[in-house]
C-alpha cells in the first residue's frame, strides 16, 4: 500500500525567507501531486510531477521529484504572506487510487 | 463552465440518520473520488470509481456507501453505522489513462451530527 508522509506538519516562517517541504512516499507511484488549501476552502492543484527529475515552477513555488529516493520537495523562495496555506502532496497508486499526506500548514509572518 | 458541484454545502443530521451527499461533474471525467477531512488532518480516501457501475473501497469505507449509475454522478451515503461522521467531505474527479492529470475538487460538504 502507498503511504505518503510530509514534513514538517507545521511551519512558521518569516517573509523573505526560503524553505522546503518534504514529501516521502513508501512505494512506486507514477504521479506525484501538490495541492494548496486555504482555510475552510477546497483544494487547488499546484503541480503534477510525472517522471524522475521532473521540476516545475510557478511564481515562488518550485516542485521536484526524485523517484529513486521516493521523495518530492516543494521549495518556497522569498516567502510572502499570501503563500500562507496548507500544502498537500499526494501519490497515485495502482488502479488510480490517490493517497494524500497529512498536509503542511504554512504560516508566513510579516 | 465545467466543474464539480457538491450539495448541500452544509448539512446537519441527528444520530442514527442516513444522509446522502451529492456530487455531479460536467468535465466528462471517468474517475471520481470521495475524501473525508477532519480538522487539522489530511484527506482520507473513502471510495473511488474509475468507470460507471464500478467502484472500489478506499482506506475508510466502513459506514459509507456509494453508487455510480451515471458518469457524471457519484453520490455518497453516510450511514448510521459510521461512528463519527462529523467532517468535511470532498468529491473530486479526473481523467484516466496515461495522459491523466490532476484531481479536480468540488467545494466540499460540511456534515455535522447533532
- Please judge whether A102 and B42 are an interchain contact, meaning their C-beta atoms are less than 8 angstroms apart: yes
- At B47 the pLDDT is 98
Give dist(CA A56, CA A62) in Å, integer: 6
Give dist(CA A72, CA A64) in Å, integer: 6
- Please judge whether B106 and A42 are an interchain contact, meaning their C-beta atoms are less than 8 angstroms apart: yes
Convert the pLDDT of each residue in B70-112 to its tens digit.
999 999 999 988 889 999 999 999 988 776 789 999 999 999 9
Does the beta carbon of B103 lie under 8 angstroms from any beta carbon of chain A?
yes
- At B109 the pLDDT is 97
Convert the pLDDT of each residue in B10-25 to its tens digit.
999 998 899 999 999 9
- Please judge whether B48 and A45 are an interchain contact, meaning their C-beta atoms are less than 8 angstroms apart: no
- Please judge whether A98 and B48 are an interchain contact, meaning their C-beta atoms are less than 8 angstroms apart: yes
Does the beta carbon of B105 lie under 8 angstroms from any beta carbon of chain A?
yes
- At A39 the pLDDT is 92
Number of A:B CB contacts under 8 A? 54
Beta-carbon count within 10 A of B92 CB? 26
Give dist(CA A10, CA A19) in Å, integer: 12
- At A94 the pLDDT is 83
All residues at 6 or more sequence positions from B64 whose CB lies less than 8 Å from its CB, including other chains: B34, B46, B47, B76, B77, B78, B79, B82
Convert the pLDDT of each residue in A50-104 to its tens digit.
888 889 999 999 999 999 999 999 999 999 999 999 999 999 988 889 999 999 9
- Please judge whether B45 and A97 are an interchain contact, meaning their C-beta atoms are less than 8 angstroms apart: yes
Does the beta carbon of B79 lie under 8 angstroms from any beta carbon of chain A?
no
Examine the pLDDT at B27 and tell me if it is beyond 90.
yes
In chain B, residues with a C-beta closer than 8 Å to the C-beta of A103 are 41-42
pLDDT band per the 50, 70, 90 thresholds, residue B40: confident
- At A30 the pLDDT is 81
- Please judge whether A45 and B102 are an interchain contact, meaning their C-beta atoms are less than 8 angstroms apart: yes
Mean pLDDT of B44-72: 97
Amino acid at each position: 500500500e502507498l503511504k505518503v508522509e510530509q514534513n514538517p506538519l507545521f511551519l512558521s516562517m518569516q517573509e523573505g525567507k526560503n524553505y522546503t517541504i518534504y514529501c516521502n512516499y513508501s512505494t512506486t507511484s507514477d504521479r506525484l501531486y501538490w495541492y494548496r488549501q486555504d482555510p475552510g476552502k477546497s483544494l487547488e492543484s499546484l503541480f503534477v510531477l510525472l517522471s524522475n527529475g521532473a521540476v516545475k515552477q510557478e511564481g515562488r513555488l518550485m516542485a521536484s521529484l526524485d523517484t529513486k529516493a521516493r521523495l518530492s520537495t516543494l521549495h518556497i523562495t522569498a516567502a510572502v504572506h499570501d503563500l500562507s496555506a496548507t500544502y498537500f502532496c499526494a501519490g497515485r497508486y495502482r488502479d488510480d487510487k490517490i493517497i494524500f499526506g497529512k498536509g503542511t500548514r504554512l504560516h508566513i509572518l510579516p | 463552465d465545467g466543474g464539480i458541484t457538491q450539495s448541500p454545502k452544509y448539512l446537519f443530521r441527528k444520530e442514527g440518520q442516513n444522509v446522502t451527499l451529492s456530487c455531479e461533474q460536467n468535465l466528462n471525467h471517468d474517475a471520481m473520488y470521495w475524501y473525508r477531512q477532519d480538522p487539522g488532518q489530511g484527506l482520507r480516501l473513502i471510495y473511488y470509481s474509475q468507470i460507471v457501475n464500478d467502484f472500489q473501497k478506499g482506506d475508510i469505507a466502513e459506514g459509507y456507501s456509494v453508487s455510480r449509475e451515471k458518469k457524471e454522478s457519484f453520490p455518497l451515503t453516510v450511514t448510521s453505522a459510521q461512528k463519527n461522521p462529523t467532517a468535511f467531505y470532498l468529491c473530486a474527479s479526473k481523467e484516466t489513462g496515461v495522459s491523466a492529470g490532476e484531481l479536480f475538487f468540488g467545494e466540499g460538504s460540511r456534515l455535522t451530527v447533532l
